A and B are shown apart, each in its own frame.
Chain A
Amino acid sequence: MFAFRWITAILLFAVPAGVTQADGLLHRLPKDGTWATYQLDGISKNAGESLGQPRP
């Protein structure tokens, strides 16, 4: 019985349902139909130009 409980616990916690751990922008796989919007703020610099400073 003790061994059975341990196996059950490992199965429950080793593979959480619906959870992914890929390292891009998808770390979880929610139910179908789910959406998320991210605001984008961008800064560009040419080689030799400092980040955060306006372009000439």
Chain B
Amino acid sequence: MTGALRIASVGRVIEKSEPCRWIEVQFDFKLANGEGQLRKSDWCKVLIAEKHLVKGQSPLDHVLRAWYRSEADDSSQKMENLGDGRTPLPIILSGPLQDGERLATAEIDSKLGKLACEGVRGTLKLNSSRGDALPDVYQKCELENRMHAASPFGVVTSRWTLHSVNGTLVWHLTLVDIGENAASKMPDAK
């Protein structure tokens, strides 16, 4: 499986006297098997007060509005439940990790070149509204991040090990491109 995940800050607004950000995430992946290739693209866009994007906070618990769109959709749909399993938002917007531990600094290669990156590793419990009894719902994510101040959102690489009763899925994320002047791909989501 391969793909790409794009994170962008696509707007700064004042909501109830608080400065807030629209954060947009695009998640593309391709799965090749013996019967062909499955390709999927999803977008989601969330509005969060900047004060909840600080240490000790859980941005996921403070999302003011959220929208979802797949490439097959004509328009964006409001997300009522961020843990509905359609997006990686519970991981991207998580708060402090359970049993979090700092890792020794290591040299990591990415778009930014070779950098000495701090590391953190821990576990996230994923609470899906679909219920733990459903086999494809991931219940736990072991997360390992490598960070450097030169990365726009701080993370250079990330490794997600997702566990369900049916097995395990490991995603390895590596920063490959950065830029400015991002425009929302969901302009109807406000």
Q: How large is the interface on B (under 10, 10 to 19, 20 to 34, 35 or more residues)?
A: 35 or more
Q: How large is the interface on A (under 10, 10 to 19, 20 to 34, 35 or more residues)?
A: 20 to 34
B152 touches A28 (CB 8 A): yes
B186 at the interface (CB under 8 A from A): no
Question: B189 → chain A, closest Cβ, in Å?
Answer: 16
B172 touches A25 (CB 8 A): no
Inter-chain CA distance A44–B21, complex, in Å, is 34
B9 touches A43 (CB 8 A): no
Residues of B with C-beta under 8 A to A24: 59-60, 91-95, 143
B108 at the interface (CB under 8 A from A): no
A46 touches B4 (CB 8 A): no
B1 touches A41 (CB 8 A): yes
Residues of A with C-beta under 8 A to B12: 32
B132 at the interface (CB under 8 A from A): no
Given contacts A25-B91, A35-B178, A36-B177, contact A43 B170 (CB under 8 A): yes
Given contacts A29-B9, A29-B50, A43-B1, contact A34 B166 (CB under 8 A): no
- The 0/1 profile, CB within 8 Å of A marked 1, for residues 70-105 of chain B is 000000000000000000000111111100100000
Given contacts A33-B182, A38-B176, A42-B29, contact A20 B11 (CB under 8 A): no
B2 at the interface (CB under 8 A from A): yes
Residues of A with C-beta under 8 A to B96: 22-23
A42 touches B169 (CB 8 A): yes
Question: A50 → chain B, closest Cβ, in Å?
Answer: 10
Inter-chain CA distance A32–B178, complex, in Å, is 13
Given contacts A28-B152, A33-B9, A44-B167, contact A22 B173 (CB under 8 A): no
A51 at the interface (CB under 8 A from B): yes
Can you sample 30 A-B contacts with CB below 8 Å?
A: A22-B57, A23-B97, A23-B100, A23-B122, A24-B59, A24-B91, A25-B7, A25-B173, A26-B53, A26-B92, A26-B93, A26-B155, A28-B152, A28-B153, A28-B154, A33-B8, A36-B6, A36-B8, A37-B6, A37-B175, A37-B177, A38-B175, A40-B2, A40-B171, A41-B172, A42-B169, A43-B1, A43-B169, A45-B168, A46-B166
Beyond known contacts A22-B96, A44-B167: 8 more, CB 8 A cutoff: A21-B54, A27-B154, A29-B9, A31-B9, A38-B173, A39-B176, A42-B2, A42-B171
